[in-house]
Amino acid sequence: MPLSITIDLSDKDIERFRAAQASAEASAKSADEIIKAAADLLKSAETGALPDFIRQRLEGLDSLIAMLNDEGFALPDEDRKHVVSALVYFVNPQDAIPDHTPVLGYLDDAIMIELCLRQLHNEIEAYEDFCDFRQHEAERRGLDPATVGRADFLEARREELLNRIHRRRERDYGVGYGGSSGYGRAGVFLRRVDAAAMNAGSADTLVQHLGIEVLEVGEDFIRGRMPVDHRTHQPFGLLHGGASVALAETLGSMAASLCVDPATQMAVGLEINANHLRAVTQGWVIGTARPIHIGRSTQVWDIRIENEAGQPVCISRLTMAVVPRAMGAR
C-alpha cells in the first residue's frame, strides 16, 4: 500500500544545502563541467531502481539542462550563470548522501533539485512558454522549429502585450487611445488603397528601381518585399543595410500616408533607425510595417524585415511628421 512521507526542512537545514552548493561552486572548473555532471547524474539514475518521488524531481533537472543547451532559447549570459550556479551541487558524487548509496543515494540530489526548481521557477516558466511558442509558430509558418528563436518569441510577446493593453483600454473607456491614435478602431487607416495602386504610385522612383513591391495592405499593416540581387547587394554580395532601411522607410511612409487626410496633410520622414540582425545573399526579404503611435503631429512605425524562412533580418523604427500639405510640398 502507498505510504505518504512529508519531509520538513527548517531554515537551518536549507542553509546547509546552500552551504554545500557554495562549496561545490568554489571547486567547480567550468560551466560545461557543471552541465555535464548534471547530465551524468541523470544518466546514472536511469539505470537504478529509484523511488518515484526521487525520479520525478530528477526529471525537473532534465528541463534545466535542456534550457541551458537550447541554442534557440539563447539564455543571456547573466541568466545562464544563475542557472549553472544552481546546478553546481551535482558535480560532486560524494555529496551529503553519496549517490552509490542504495535507494536513498539520490535523496539529497532530489531535495537540491526541488530547491533549484523553486529558485528558478521564473526561468523555467519562460522556457516552457518558449518551447510551446516555437512548436506552434513552426507549424503555423511551415518552418523547422530550430529556425524559430528567442528574437521571434520576444517580438511575439511584445505584440501580445501591446494588444492586451489596447483591449483593456477599449474595455475600460470604450475607446482606444483617443481619435488620433487609431487603437480604438478596427483598423488605423483612414482610407483603403490596394497593393496595386501603391505599386503604381511608385513608378519611376527609387522604390521601383530597387524592385520593392507592396504585397498586402491590411487593417493596420502594410507588407512588401524587396529582391536581394545586384540592385540591393553591397560589394561583398550581401544585402546592403541601406537597402533594408529603404524598404523600411518605404513601407512605413506608405502606411503613414494612409493615416492622414491627403487633401490637407502629408506625412514626411523625421527619423529612422535600424538594427541589422542577419545577412542575406539572395532571394527576397519581406517587410511589415505596423503602428506604434499615431498622433496628430507625429507617427511612429515599427518595421520588421524577415528572410523567406521567416527569420528576422532587420528591425527598424520610423518616426513621421504630419505637416500641412503646402509645407510638405516645398
317 bridge partner residues: 273, 302
- The reply to whether 4 falls in a domain is no
Averaged pLDDT, 288-306:
93
Cell readout for 293 is 503611435
Are residues 154 and 240 part of one domain?
Answer: no
C-alpha–C-alpha distance, residues 182 and 184, integer Å: 6
**Could you give the number of structural domains in the chain?**
3
Percent of the chain's residues with pLDDT above 70 = 70
> Whose grid coordinates read 505599386?
199
Averaged pLDDT, 44-63:
69
pLDDT at residue 295 is higher than 50: yes
pLDDT at residue 21 is higher than 60: no
268 bridge partner residues: 321
Please write the tens of the pLDDT for every residue from 251-284: 999 999 999 988 899 999 999 999 999 999 999 9
Element (H, E) at 157: helix 150-173
CB hemisphere CA count around 54 (13 angstroms)? 17
Are residues 108 and 66 part of one domain?
Answer: yes
Instruction: Please report which confidence band the pLDDT of residue 242 belongs to, taking 50, 70 and 90 as the band edges.
Output: very high
C-alpha–C-alpha distance, residues 181 and 191, integer Å: 15
Of 273, 253, 262, 261, whose CA–CA distance to 321 is shortest? Answer: 253
Please write the tens of the pLDDT for every residue from 63-112: 888 888 888 888 888 778 777 776 776 665 554 444 444 444 566 667 76
pLDDT value at position 314? 96
Are residues 89 and 71 part of one domain?
Answer: yes
Are residues 192 and 178 part of one domain?
Answer: no
Q: What totals of helices (H) and strands (E) does the chain contain, helices first?
A: 11, 6
- The reply to whether 249 falls in a domain is yes
pLDDT value at position 103? 43
Are residues 191 and 174 part of one domain?
Answer: no
- The reply to whether 144 falls in a domain is no
pLDDT value at position 28? 56
Cell readout for 284 is 527576397
pLDDT value at position 181? 40
Are residues 259 and 300 part of one domain?
Answer: yes
Are residues 191 and 175 part of one domain?
Answer: no
Q: Which residues are known catalytic residues?
A: 249
Cell readout for 70 is 537550447
Cell readout for 88 is 553546481
Please write the tens of the pLDDT for every residue from 163-216: 666 656 555 554 444 444 444 344 689 888 889 999 999 999 999 999 999 999
Are residues 124 and 30 part of one domain?
Answer: yes
- The reply to whether 2 falls in a domain is no
CATH number at residue 271: 3.10.129.10
Are residues 217 and 98 part of one domain?
Answer: no
What is the maximal distance between C-alpha atoms in the chain?
89
Are residues 197 and 180 part of one domain?
Answer: no
Are residues 110 and 192 part of one domain?
Answer: no
- The reply to whether 311 falls in a domain is yes
Q: Output the CA angle 56-59-61, nearest 5 degrees.
A: 125
Are residues 160 and 126 part of one domain?
Answer: no
Note if the pTM is more than 0.95. Answer: no
- The reply to whether 198 falls in a domain is yes
- The reply to whether 142 falls in a domain is no
Mean pLDDT, all residues of the chain: 79
Please write the tens of the pLDDT for every residue from 109-157: 677 677 777 777 778 888 888 888 888 888 877 888 888 887 877 777 7
**Residue range of the domain that includes 243:** 187-329
Instruction: Please report which confidence band the pLDDT of residue 222 belongs to, taking 50, 70 and 90 as the band edges.
Output: very high
Secondary structure E strands in the chain: 213-217, 222-227, 265-276, 284-294, 298-307, 312-324
CB 77, CB 96: distance < 8 Å: no
- The reply to whether 264 falls in a domain is yes
pLDDT value at position 127? 84
pLDDT value at position 25? 56
